[in-house]
């Protein structure tokens, strides 16, 4: 009976049931996809124990599997004060698809200048630790869906040819929940090719019943971010910031992204997904 609790971690045949108790809407639907219909979901539901049959989980067992709300696993101090955009559940992996951008010296110098200029206007931005160009929204995958997900994506990308895209226009972005603001550089060349790649990624997203990319994508590389909605303050500084990027000794700064291998990051695992030749 213990496997019926969302706080329990079942094994072998019990795994399906214990996970079903903690499924998100997405993953509920993904169960249907994998097993070829809704009958499995219904069956799982029918087999869930009722509240009358449930026994309390012993404290010592609960302590072995700290859940959301436990400061050790969900403290926002662990992720730089950022707020989670979705509920954390064990076995759910935040997943996104992107091209990495490897900064060079000129970029790092410009970024420093930009952050100083923003700080003078009382907005403190934190530089990204890794730079990327997103080709998907962040979605939630169950652990056992990660491999099928990358396997679905891989052959679709072979039809997309390698290319280089460039970005040079500063733009302000905010996440859907308005809890984080980003200063990014928007892509100016290579959109058509990026749209082709998004089309391939979206096909896999649709196959797994996950959210597809923005209907009106603004491809960009985020440079820095802060907690809260500082869209207005940053937009007010954009002209000054853009002139820092444009008035460079060697002409306007242009960030170049070599789009030859996509990355799929699921939790702490990263997979390389090469484009065609
Ligand atoms: P990223 O640097 O890819 O993590 O994106 C930073 C933020 O930009 C994300 O939270 C996105 O939700 C947000 N964003 C807002 N509007 C758009 C858009 N049209 N295209 C891409 N990203 C967007």
Q: Distance, CA 43 to ligand 1 centroid (Å)?
A: 39
Among 22-31, 42-51, 75-84, which range has the highest average pLDDT?
Answer: 75-84
State the catalytic residues: 132, 220
What's residue 21's pLDDT?
24
Q: What integer is the mean pLDDT of 259-269?
A: 96
With a threshold of 0.85, does the pTM exceed it?
no
Q: Distance, CA 204 to ligand 1 centroid (Å)?
A: 20
Q: Distance, CA 242 to ligand 1 centroid (Å)?
A: 19
Contact 136, 259 (CB under 8 A): no
Contact 141, 266 (CB under 8 A): yes
Residue 248 banded pLDDT, cuts 50, 70, 90: confident
Question: Is 273 a residue whose pLDDT tops 90?
Answer: yes
What's residue 76's pLDDT?
46
Distance from C-alpha of 119 to C-alpha of 240, rounded to nearest angstrom: 13
Q: What integer is the mean pLDDT of 80-85?
A: 57
What's residue 65's pLDDT?
46
> Per residue in 149-183, pLDDT tens?
999 999 999 999 999 999 999 999 999 999 999 99
> Per residue in 99-146, pLDDT tens?
999 999 999 999 999 999 999 999 999 999 999 999 999 999 999 999
- Beta strand residue intervals within the chain, DSSP E: 92-101, 126-127, 131-134, 139-142, 163-174, 180-189, 220-227, 255-259, 261-266, 269-274
Question: Is 19 a residue whose pLDDT tops 80?
Answer: no
What's residue 7's pLDDT?
33
What's residue 206's pLDDT?
98
Question: Is 59 a residue whose pLDDT tops 50?
Answer: yes
Residues having CB closer than 6 A to ligand 1 are 134, 173, 175-176, 182, 184, 214, 216-218, 222
Which residue's CA is minimally distant from atom 10 of ligand 1?
Answer: 175
Q: What integer is the mean pLDDT of 73-100?
A: 69
Label residues 31-60 b or e (16+ Cβ within 10 Å = b). beeeeeeeeebeebeeeeeeeeeeeeeeee
Atom of ligand 1 nearest to the CA of 98: 3
What's residue 228's pLDDT?
97
**Share above pLDDT 70 across residues of the chain, in percent, rounded to a whole number:** 68
Contact 228, 180 (CB under 8 A): yes
Residue ranges and CATH numbers for the domains of the chain are 15-46 (no CATH), 87-274 (3.90.1140.10)
Residue 72 banded pLDDT, cuts 50, 70, 90: very low
> Per residue in 29-43, pLDDT tens?
333 323 323 333 333
Among 36-45, 62-71, 87-96, 168-177, which range has the highest average pLDDT?
Answer: 168-177
């Amino acid at each position: 009976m213990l496997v019926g609790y969302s706080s329990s971690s079942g094994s072998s045949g019990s795994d399906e049931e214990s996970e079903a108790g903690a499924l998100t809407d997405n993953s509920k639907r993904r169960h249907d996809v994998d097993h070829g219909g809704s009958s499995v979901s219904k069956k799982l539901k029918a087999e869930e124990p009722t509240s009358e049959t449930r026994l309390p989980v012993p404290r010592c067992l609960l302590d072995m599997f700290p859940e959301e709300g436990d400061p050790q696993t969900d403290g926002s101090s662990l992720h730089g004060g950022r707020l989670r955009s979705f509920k954390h559940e064990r076995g759910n992996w935040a997943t996104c698809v992107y091209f990495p951008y490897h900064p060079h010296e000129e970029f790092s110098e410009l970024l420093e200048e930009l952050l100083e200029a923003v700080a003078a206007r009382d907005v403190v931005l934190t530089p990204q630790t890794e730079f990327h160009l997103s080709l998907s929204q962040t979605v939630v995958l169950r652990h056992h869906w990660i491999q099928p997900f990358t396997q679905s994506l891989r052959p679709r990308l072979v039809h997309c040819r390698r290319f280089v895209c460039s970005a040079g226009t500063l733009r302000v972005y905010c996440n859907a929940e308005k809890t984080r603001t980003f200063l990014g550089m928007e892509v100016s060349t290579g959109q058509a090719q990026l749209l082709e790649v998004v089309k391939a990624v979206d096909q896999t997203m649709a196959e797994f019943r996950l959210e597809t990319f923005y209907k009106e994508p603004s491809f960009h590389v985020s440079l820095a971010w802060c907690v809260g909605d500082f869209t207005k303050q940053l937009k007010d500084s954009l002209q000054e910031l853009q002139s820092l990027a444009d008035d460079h000794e060697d002409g306007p700064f242009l960030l170049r992204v070599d789009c030859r291998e996509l990355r799929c990051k699921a939790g702490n695992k990263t997979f390389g997904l090469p484009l065609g030749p």
